[in-house]
Amino acid sequence: KMPVILDCDTGSDDAFAIAMAIASDQLEVLGVSAVAGNLTLDRVVKNTRRTLSFTDPAVPFAAGAAGPLQRDLIETGRPIHMLFAGAKEERVPVDPRPAEDFLYDLIQKSEQPVTLIPLGPLTNIAKLLQKYPQCKENILRMVLMGGAAAGGNTTEFAEFNIYVDPEAADIVFRSGVPIVMCGIEVCRDGRVSVEDAERLEALQNEAAGYFAREMMQDFKNGESIIFDAVTVAWILRPEIITAQPAQVHIELRDQLRLGQTVCDFASDRPNALVAMHMQKEGFVQLILDLFAKYGG
């Protein structure tokens, strides 16, 4: 099995990615860590523990940064809420260590190099790389949700996860660790419909039920984008996603373009593989196949 660790700001799409990774026979989830982003840290911790409570309460979990490296956490005003009312978060213990220590411990104990799956602002990951640069030796790659090849979703130029903590993103993109960037473009191909939620509900198991209800709440104009789950699709079904190598630079100086992931596809020194397009039906089928496993 391929060892993975997810770092997230849960968020229903983060929760999707966690549940899918845990369900997969090909992946071994070594741990999950929480970072402030979509919501304040205490609420991210609650949502993440709720997610683990019915997917696998034995997965090690720790909390990380309550805010970006050098900035205040932005108020997004986005309608992101507490997930899974009724789930028993107290079933999931919280490791007392800060995320960077927890992550380092998991990485260095792993027999095989680890794939990191960052799904929120990159604060915890930047702290890990700064405090324990030697951990890179046992990191195979990062498959992250963040950035955009063209326009942003938080400012005209920047995507949310990168915009929230651009200094952390800069550290990560300069780290030399191989990166697969699942940005806005490829995630937009992961739009799901009300019919998809009904197909999920029809699986009739507890996890599928929680997520189908969650999807129903997230619909705007009959569709919803499950951004973060695209990372797991990349790992499990790379054949449904196209990608191009690029030199990705994080804009830190120009305030208008702050947090933009400037992608130079012509560079001969790429630091990332930028995912571009995904076949939607293959994505939905993967989700259904994985959630079917919660039926026992």
Could you list the residues that contact Ca ion (CB under 5 A)?
9, 11, 14, 119-120, 228
When CB distances are held under 5 to 8 angstroms depending on the partner's kind, the choice from ligand BDR, Ca ion, none that residue 160 binds is: ligand BDR
When CB distances are held under 5 to 8 angstroms depending on the partner's kind, the choice from Ca ion, ligand BDR, none that residue 52 binds is: none
**Contact flag: residue 11 with ligand BDR (CB under 6 A):** yes
* Binding test (CB under 6 A) with ligand BDR, winner from 159, 165, 170, 196: 159
Residues 127-156 that bind ligand BDR (CB under 6 A): 145, 153
When CB distances are held under 5 to 8 angstroms depending on the partner's kind, the choice from ligand BDR, Ca ion, none that residue 251 binds is: none
**Contact flag: residue 161 with ligand BDR (CB under 6 A):** yes
Closest separation in Å from C-beta 18 to ligand BDR: 11
| CB distance 260 to 251 below 8 Å | yes
* Binding test (CB under 6 A) with ligand BDR, winner from 228, 243, 246, 278: 228
When CB distances are held under 5 to 8 angstroms depending on the partner's kind, the choice from ligand BDR, Ca ion, none that residue 260 binds is: none
**Contact flag: residue 13 with ligand BDR (CB under 6 A):** yes
What b-and-e string marks burial along 234-247, b requiring 16 or more CB atoms within 10 Å of the CB?
bbbbeebbebebbb
Binding mask 98-127 for ligand BDR (x = CB under 6 A): ---------------------xx-------
Closest separation in Å from C-beta 38 to Ca ion: 6
**Contact flag: residue 160 with ligand BDR (CB under 6 A):** yes
When CB distances are held under 5 to 8 angstroms depending on the partner's kind, the choice from Ca ion, ligand BDR, none that residue 263 binds is: none
Tell me the β-bridge partners of 5. Answer: 31, 116
Kindly determine how many residues on this chain lie close enough to bind ligand BDR according to the rule CB under 6 A. Answer: 13
> Contact positions toward ligand BDR, by CB under 6 A?
11, 13-14, 38, 119-120, 145, 153, 159-161, 227-228
